[in-house]
A = this chain, B = another copy of it.
């Protein structure tokens, strides 16, 4: 059983997940699965994964080989759905059981196409799977936050090369989400405006960090980018919750996603990257605890953060939390704007 452990000096929870690797020799970096015969995410290998949780397929039985998108439990989950938290103290520390959910979204049956290569219609299917899983998991009141993210390339943490994203539900609000939500709440209570809406309006006026301005979505390089060629994708109209996007909106979002991924792939020669979907947490109440986030529809603004992995997180970043970025966001936006797709 994994554990969530509290560091009382750094003020952070860590997941000690011993399901997969433990011993020193287990850390030798493995080659990615090369062929389709061995790949558990390929057509025809459906029996090599745990049974699917959700899939998009024209018709037919679960786990049959005619799907377009497939969602399965992670075979080596960092957190498990079964059990209770058993939140307890230990000396100066705190610890609870590693309860949560860890799912894999297989984005395409084709081993050799990355997400940037998918059509907008195929990306719409992926986004639909995201929405479905969010809506389902937020009914479990143990989960305080869900994050969907993608690791593309070994250096970005992907252990299988077949295009996929992951969903992790955690029983605690993570520190970065807590900061964003608190900032947005404070800003709104002072100004009665969304800080993200103000930021988007400012960036659209300034223009130099805009990558692409669509009717209802916009991609920007953040003014204080931690690393080179970071991009954020925002809905231009205020919306706190990704899962409230309707089918037409997901179709438009897929076009903006494809554009963002293709620009990054083209300009950076298929560099490894991560993207992370930031959206409002579930708003259910817990016994004895007020829920501070029950009016997030005014404060928060969902978005997608993309981080190419071109530089290493080194001692300075580990030790301070400050980042050194050798490419200005203005230069990055220009290179991405001028990409020939």
Nearest CB of B to A243, in Å: 17
A181 to B69, CA, bound (A): 48
Give chain B residues whose Cβ lies under 8 Å from the Cβ of A271.
27
In the bound complex, do residue A175 and residue B320 qualify as a contact, i.e. CB atoms below 8 Å apart? yes
In the bound complex, do residue B199 and residue A92 qualify as a contact, i.e. CB atoms below 8 Å apart? yes
Does A11 have its Cβ within 8 Å of any Cβ on chain B? yes
In the bound complex, do residue B17 and residue A324 qualify as a contact, i.e. CB atoms below 8 Å apart? yes
Nearest CB of B to A196, in Å: 7
Which of A8, A78, A325: most chain B Cβ within 10 A? A325
Which of A14, A18, A271: most chain B Cβ within 10 A? A14
Are A9 and B276 CB-contacts (below 8 A) given A14-B322, A15-B324, A269-B24? no
Does A168 have its Cβ within 8 Å of any Cβ on chain B? yes
In the bound complex, do residue B14 and residue A276 qualify as a contact, i.e. CB atoms below 8 Å apart? no
In the bound complex, do residue B320 and residue A147 qualify as a contact, i.e. CB atoms below 8 Å apart? yes
A161 to B184, CA, bound (A): 44
Give chain B residues whose Cβ lies under 8 Å from the Cβ of A5.
223-224
Oligomer: number of copies:
2
In the bound complex, do residue B14 and residue A323 qualify as a contact, i.e. CB atoms below 8 Å apart? yes
Which A21-65 residues have C-beta < 8 A from chain B? 21-25, 27
Nearest CB of B to A5, in Å: 4
Q: Which residue of B lies closest to A13 (CB)?
A: B322
A156 to B176, CA, bound (A): 24
Interface residues as binary, A155-188 with B (CB distance below 8 Å gives 1, 0 otherwise): 1111000000010101000111101100110000
In the bound complex, do residue B316 and residue A166 qualify as a contact, i.e. CB atoms below 8 Å apart? yes
Does A84 have its Cβ within 8 Å of any Cβ on chain B? no
Q: Which residue of B lies closest to A227 (CB)?
A: B14
Q: Which residue of B lies closest to A320 (CB)?
A: B174
Residue in contact with A176 in the complex, picked from B91, B224, B277, B321, CB distance below 8 Å: B321
Give chain B residues whose Cβ lies under 8 Å from the Cβ of A154.
312
Which A310-341 residues have C-beta < 8 A from chain B? 310-316, 318-329, 331, 335
Does A244 have its Cβ within 8 Å of any Cβ on chain B? no
Does A214 have its Cβ within 8 Å of any Cβ on chain B? no
Residue in contact with A15 in the complex, picked from B12, B158, B206, B323, CB distance below 8 Å: B323
Which of A147, A318, A324: most chain B Cβ within 10 A? A318
In the bound complex, do residue A315 and residue B276 qualify as a contact, i.e. CB atoms below 8 Å apart? yes
Residue pairs across A and B with Cβ atoms less than 8 A apart, 20 shown, are A6-B224, A10-B179, A15-B322, A15-B324, A17-B326, A19-B326, A25-B269, A27-B228, A78-B324, A92-B195, A156-B314, A157-B312, A157-B314, A157-B315, A166-B316, A168-B316, A174-B319, A175-B321, A176-B319, A276-B315
